[in-house]
């Protein structure tokens, strides 16, 4: 690990453990998210507006959401007008992926 992408000297922490825990957690969340989608689809397909469990109550509601069509906006406005209406913010992200094992 180089100084440019690693911790400052004298800082003692096992980053490998943190990276692995984050990757494991993200995998668990992905599995739970898929299960959540299936359960929601089942409740939605029931046709009921609300359902009661032993611990929780589920309400199924339908609403409308308006979204801005970026392609249509760019077609109607000049590049400069689009730029004037564009808000730029800095974002930070941490991407985690499974390591590729070296062939033995």
Contact yes or no for 96/22 (Cβ under 8 A): yes
DSSP string of 32-55, one letter each residue: HHHHHHHHHHHHHHT--SEEE-SS
Residue 6 counted as domain residue: no
Q: How many domains does the chain have?
A: 1
Q: Are 73 and 83 in contact (CB under 8 A)?
A: no
> Which pLDDT belongs to residue 2?
45
Task: Decide if 54 is inside a domain.
Answer: yes
Domain interval for residue 27: 15-84
Looking at the chain, the whole-number percentage of residues with pLDDT higher than 90 is: 78
Q: Is the dihedral angle over the CA atoms 34, 39, 40, 45 positive or is it negative?
A: positive
Whether 76 is in a domain gets the answer yes
- Claim: this prediction has a pTM higher than 0.95: no
Q: Does residue 62 lie in a domain region?
A: yes
Which stretches of the chain score pLDDT less than 50? 1-3
Q: Note the pLDDT tens digit of each residue in 48-75.
A: 999 999 999 999 999 999 999 999 999 9
- Identify whether 80 is part of a domain: yes
């Amino acid at each position: 690990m180089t100084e440019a992408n690693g911790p400052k000297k004298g800082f003692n922490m096992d980053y490998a453990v943190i990276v692995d825990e984050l990757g494991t957690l993200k995998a668990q969340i992905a599995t739970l998210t898929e299960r959540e989608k299936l359960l929601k689809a089942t409740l939605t397909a029931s046709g009921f507006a609300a359902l009661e469990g032993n611990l929780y109550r589920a309400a199924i509601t339908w609403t409308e959401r308006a979204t801005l069509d970026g392609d249509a906006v760019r077609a109607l406005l000049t590049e400069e007008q689009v730029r004037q209406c564009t808000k730029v913010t800095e974002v930070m992200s941490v991407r985690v992926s499974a390591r590729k094992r070296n062939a033995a």
